[in-house]
Amino acid sequence: MTDTQWIQICQLEALPIDAGTAALLDEGKPTEEQIALFRITSTTQGESTIFAVSNFDPFSEANVISRGILCSIGDELAVASPIGKQHFCLNSGTCFEDEDVALKTYPSKIADGQVYVQSSELIQE
Amino acid sequence: MSVKQKILVIGNGMVGHKFLEAMTTHSDADKFEIATFCEEPRAAYDRVHLTDYFSGHSAEDLSLVEPDFFAQHNIRILLNDKAVSIDRKAKTVTSENGETLSYDKLVLATGSYPFVPPIPGHKRDNCFVYRTIEDMEAIRASAQGSSVGVVIGGGLLGLEAAKALKDLGLTTHVVEFAPRLMAVQVDDGGGAMLRQKIEDLGVQVHTGKNTQNIEDGDQHFHKMTFADGDIIETDVLLFSAGIRPQDTLAREFGLELGERGGIVVNDHCQTSDPDIYAIGECALSGGRIYGLVAPGYRMAQVTADHISNTGDNTFTGADMSTKLKLMGVDVASIGDAHGNTPDAKVYTYVDGSTEVYKKIVVNSDNNRLLGAVLVGDATDYGNLLQIVLNDIPLPEFPDALILPQRDGSGITGLGVEALPDGAQICSCNDVSKGDLCQFISDGATTLGDLKACSKAGTSCGGCNVLVGQVLNAELEKMGLEVNTDLCEHFPYTRQDLYNLVRVEKIKSFFDLIEKHGSGRGCDICKPTVASILASCWNDYVLEPEHAGLQDTNDRYLGNMQKNGTYSIVPRIPGGEITPEKLIVLGEVAKKYKLYSKITGGQRIDLFGARLEQLPEIWRLLIDAGFETGHAYGKALRTVKSCVGTSWCRYGQDDSVALALEVENRYKGLRSPHKLKSAVSGCTRECAEAQSKDFGIIATENGWNLYVGGNGGMRPRHADLFATDLDKETLIKYIDRFLMFYVRTADRLQRTSTWMDNMEGGLDYLREVVIEDSLGICEQLEAEMVEVIGSYQCEWKTTIEDEEKLRMFQPFINSEKGDSNVVFVEERGQIRPATSDEKRQGIKVVSL
């Protein structure tokens, strides 16, 4: 994997803590997709982690996942759809209420205070 | 087709009507042709609650007849028509109006008439009895311009009547021949305590008084002279000296009567003519007249079963124990209240400071309860009654049943578990403990659900505490530990969390979960805590520490629709709006192509706003003087109103002005669920206040307050909470009511279910809110003042904060909008395109 596969999205500090934000991946390209970024802070050290999943809610067919509430279910982090309240695992994308349904997930990282997400274009190749 | 059997009923009172209901629910109901005579001008109504007629209830409120009942079941009712003769050979009945109807089975439900002692002068003007709505109307007319009222008779009904006179604003006296009040039901000790409590309420009691003469008075209309020479002058005189069975027809047409009246019936309620039945207060069963409604209902059922050949139901007597609230005083009498049983022993408990009197009567072996009297505190009634009815062995020291439990041990030795399944818990609706257990094991595991499906506790409400105890005991027995934790992150109920937040002055979700929870929270606890924080401290909901907790509606201050766009509802207090503002709404809707719809709450909803449009739209609305309507929040929504006295020919008061005041007072109050209200200017009730969480209706003398109403999925008629209030008192009660709801309700529990689940029900709520029984009213009012004082229009705050506006950008890294939001045109407005339409690339509305 080379550095070119990572798309810079925004500054980390621009993202609200423990909540979702929508972003556009590969804007203008055929692979353009809406994603939902979740910035999670560790409760003890204040360090941030980023999760990136598809913003498209497969149940309501609307782009609303970034506007869902962040949840912890046991040890897993999840987001609840603001429309149908189904829960999706932020790590795997799997829906807790229906195992056959999942959100697409995207590798993401933080470097030099910037948030990066891996582009679908290059992953598909 | 076989010929229908003709059933004729004489009398459409409470019991007569119960009989009709019982017949119509029978599986062979279509085999009967039913008709009923009704001497009064209106069909059956609730005579037990007749006094409510003077405290805000209309004749319609008291009606016991389901809408369209007679038409729906094809029953002929002859109102204002009295049966005057029976031809038992021809099997016909003829009425005063000359109607002759034939019958196969005749049911006499003629009830009783008030006994008026033949005192000289008893037929003077302004002398009344107390039985029908017409009596009530006559008493009310006479009370106008009068100042003093006397009731002759200090029994149960007499005290009810005294309350009515007091409600009409008269200086009220009760005159009783016997040496104590309620001589039939209570003993000397109980009578003395009752007298003290009633005199505290401003009613003057005169016992041992034998009225000799009634004549013209000097200061007032009547002068009453007693055997001992005393004199009382009064304007209004009301006789309530007992009832007599209305057995005239039976007497004239040869049915067997008791020595002192009453139509003799057997265990199937048949009279001496097997084709004629008698039920209710006119029937003499086992040598007794049953002057209570529950036994009358039983007779109605027994008769219906016998006529329709259903089972072998019999009436062999009924328990005459009673519990009632007389002028706010609890009085109960059970079984052998006077200790008449040979060798009976008596235990008494008297608390002079709170004026409570309790007595139990036990058998000579000290192991069975025979009867009881309770005055001032009747909470033990349900338990004691069950012990008597089910012959349950007593604990070693029977006095434990009435002594106060001060060590916190709670249960008085005998709980509901000691009751057999056959024990009747709700006598009004004939629900046994076994019935309740069945409903519970079928899934009715909350008090509200259990009452809804069993009907227990839904009439007089006297058994509510007991129903709750059965529920708890059963759940425990089933090993069904009811987990009341809010969610996996907090081992607390919503009420617990509310108290923690208040007491520890916790200001953020983070602090609360750090101290009292675990994990990171979820879509259950975050919005719940956000709501609690808002109810307590009323911070701006989009502060960084609160924003992530909010449900999407609260987070973007709009109502999210199925395609991810939002609808906008500006506040239109009381539904009153100027043409200028109406035009602004039209212009905004036109500019942004928003779908426009009038809401049920007298507001206007604008649909289809994209996330990024919300701030621009709100800037225009706020510039035009609008405020946020909180349609997105679990908060006060709208206070509907009718036009009231300003325009309406019938209005009693200015309902619009009050609606505006109420809406502006409580706007921004966040609560466990949404709150709706309405104000009507008269009893025509055009604002539909009785279907609201709190509703207000103007009367001649002030405002009536209703609480706990709901429309929607589970409609609930609001309860009349208090009557004829001045505005200051009204607002005070609403402040307390709302804050008590905020403090004690479950998450997403509307006031209607909150009321249904409240142990002690409406009476308890009145005690808390009106009498301040918990001593919290001052606190509740102060909390409300704080919320009102910290109100802000959330949209105004938001558009003034550049930082906040960034949230409404659709993507953090792009200026583009959501390409998946597509509309098509329908009836001249937009609507979201369906998935199929999007795939087919149907012509869309360009925005």
CB contact B519 to A (< 8 Å): yes
For A38, name the nearest residue in chain B, comparing CA atoms only: B548
Q: Could you tell me the CA-to-CA distances from B238 to B194, B330, B603 in Å, in that order?
A: 21, 23, 51
Quote the pLDDT of residue B319.
Answer: 81
Instruction: Please tell me which of the candidates B523, B552, B562 has its beta carbon nearest to residue A71.
Output: B523
What is the three-class DSSP state of B816? coil
CB contact under 8 A, B521 and A72: yes
Minimal C-alpha gap between A125 and chain B (Å): 24
* Closest chain B C-alpha to A124 CA, distance in angstroms: 23
Give the C-alpha separation, B227 to B332, whole Å: 31
Q: Cα dist. B777→B371, B533, B836 in Å?
A: 38, 21, 57
Residues 6+ apart with CB under 8 A from B563: A60, A62, B820, B821, B822, B832
Distance in Å, alpha carbon of A2 to nearest chain B alpha carbon = 23
Q: pLDDT grade, residue B294 (50/70/90)?
A: confident
Instruction: Tell me whether B817 touches chain A (CB under 8 Å).
Output: no
What is the spatial distance between Cα B760 and Cα B119, in angstroms, rounded to a whole number?
A: 43
Across B580-590, average pLDDT: 97
The confidence score (pLDDT) of residue A31 equals 83
Instruction: State which amino acid sits at residue B551.
Output: D
pLDDT at A3 over 60: no
Query: What DSSP element (H or E) covers B252?
Result: helix B248-252
Q: Each residue of B446-496: pLDDT tens digit?
A: 887 888 888 887 766 667 777 888 888 888 777 766 677 889 999 999 999
Q: What is the pLDDT of residue B407?
A: 47
pLDDT digits (tens, 9 = 90+) for B37-73: 999 999 999 888 888 887 777 888 889 898 889 999 9
Cβ separation A69–B549 shorter than 8 A: yes
pLDDT range class, residue A124, cuts 50, 70, 90: very low
Q: Is the reported ipTM for this assembly greater than 0.90?
A: yes
pLDDT at residue B497 tops 90: yes
* A74 with B527: Cβ contact below 8 A: no
Q: What are residue B276's phi and psi, to 5 degrees?
A: -120, 130
User: pLDDT (tens digit, 9 = 90+) per residue, B146-176?
Assistant: 999 999 999 888 888 898 898 888 999 999 9
- Distances in Å between the alpha carbon of B590 and those of A12, B89, B113, B445, B606? 39, 80, 69, 51, 10
Q: Do A72 and B527 touch (CB under 8 A)?
A: no
How far does A68 lie from chain B, in Å, by closest CA?
A: 7
Cβ-defined contact of B812 to A83 (cutoff 8 Å): no
What pLDDT, in 10s, does the model give residues B325-349?
Answer: 777 788 888 988 888 888 888 888 8
The answer to whether the beta carbons of residues B513 and A34 sit under 8 Å apart is no
Distance CA A124, CA B581 (A): 54
State the average pLDDT over residues B225-254: 93
Please check whether residue B541 touches A, CB under 8 A. no
pLDDT of residue B410 exceeding 70, the answer is: no
Question: Residue B414: pLDDT above 70?
Answer: no
All residues of chain B having their beta carbon less than 8 Å from the beta carbon of residue A80 are 522-523
pLDDT at A44: 62
Residue in chain A lying closest to B555 (CA): A67
Question: Residue B402's pLDDT is what?
Answer: 83
CB count, 10 Å around CB of A115? 27
Average pLDDT of the residues of chain B: 90
pLDDT in tens, B646-655: 999 999 999 9
Asked if A71's CB is within 8 angstroms of B812's CB, the reply is no
* Residues B547, A16: C-beta atoms closer than 8 Å: yes
Q: Answer yes or no: is pLDDT of B33 > 70.
A: yes
Tokens of residue A33, six digits: 């997709």
H or E element: which one contains B358?
Answer: strand B356-362
Q: What is the mean pLDDT of residues B562-583?
A: 96
For residue B682, the model assigns a pLDDT of: 92
Q: What is the pLDDT of residues A33-47, one digit of tens each?
A: 999 999 998 766 678
Q: How confident is the model at residue B846 (pLDDT cuts 50, 70, 90)?
A: low
User: A111 to chain B, minimum CA–CA distance in Å?
Assistant: 17
| Per-residue model confidence (pLDDT) at position B408 | 41
Spatial contact of B407 and B428, defined as CB atoms under 8 Å apart: no
Asked if A69 lies within 8 A of B523 by C-beta distance, the reply is yes
A51, A69, A116: best mutation site toward chain B, by most B Cβ within 10 Å?
A: A69
Q: What mean pLDDT is predicted for residues B409-424?
A: 66
- From chain B, the residues in CB contact with A83 under 8 A are 560, 562, 564
- Nearest one of A50, A60, A56, A62 to A20, comparing CA atoms: A50
pLDDT beyond 70 at B261: yes
Q: Which two tokens stand for residue B756?
A: 């249904």
Using a CB–CB cutoff of 8 Å, tell me whether B811 touches chain A. Answer: yes
Which pLDDT value is given to residue A1?
47
CB–CB contact B522 A69 (8 Å): yes
CA separation for the pair B837, B456 (Å, rounded): 52
Q: How confident is the model at residue B590 (pLDDT cuts 50, 70, 90)?
A: very high
**In one letter, which amino acid is B793?**
C
Contact indicator for B708, B720 with CB cutoff of 8 Å: no
Query: pLDDT (tens digit, 9 = 90+) per residue, A68-103?
Result: 999 999 899 999 999 988 999 999 999 998 889 999
Percent of chain B scoring above 90 in pLDDT: 61
Q: Is residue A117 within 8 angstroms of chain B, CB to CB?
A: no
Query: Which chain B residue has its CA at the smallest distance from A23's CA?
Result: B811
Interface of A with B in 2-61 (CB under 8 A): 9-10, 14-19, 21-24, 27, 34, 37, 40, 43, 56, 60-61
At B791, phi and psi to the nearest 5? -65, 140
Distance from CA of A66 to the nearest CA of B (A): 10
CB pairs under 8 A between A and B: 99
For B790-812, how does the pLDDT look when each residue is reduced to its tens digit (9 = 90+)? 999 999 999 999 888 988 999 99
| Distance from the A23 Cα atom to the nearest Cα atom in chain B, whole angstroms | 4
* Alpha carbons B357 and B373: distance in angstroms, whole number: 8
Give CA–CA dist B390/B280, Å, rounded: 25
Closest in B526, B548, B812 to A14, CB measured: B812
The C-alpha atoms of residue B599 and residue B676 are separated, in whole angstroms, by 13
Q: How does pLDDT run across B504-525, given as a tens digit for each residue? A: 999 999 999 999 999 999 999 9
Q: Which of B452, B477, B457, B482 lies closest to B467, judged by CA?
A: B457
Whole-number Å distance between alpha carbons of B190 and B194: 6
Q: CA B282 to CA B291: how far, in whole Å?
A: 9
**CA-nearest residue of chain B to A68?**
B552
Task: Give residue B412's pLDDT.
Answer: 45
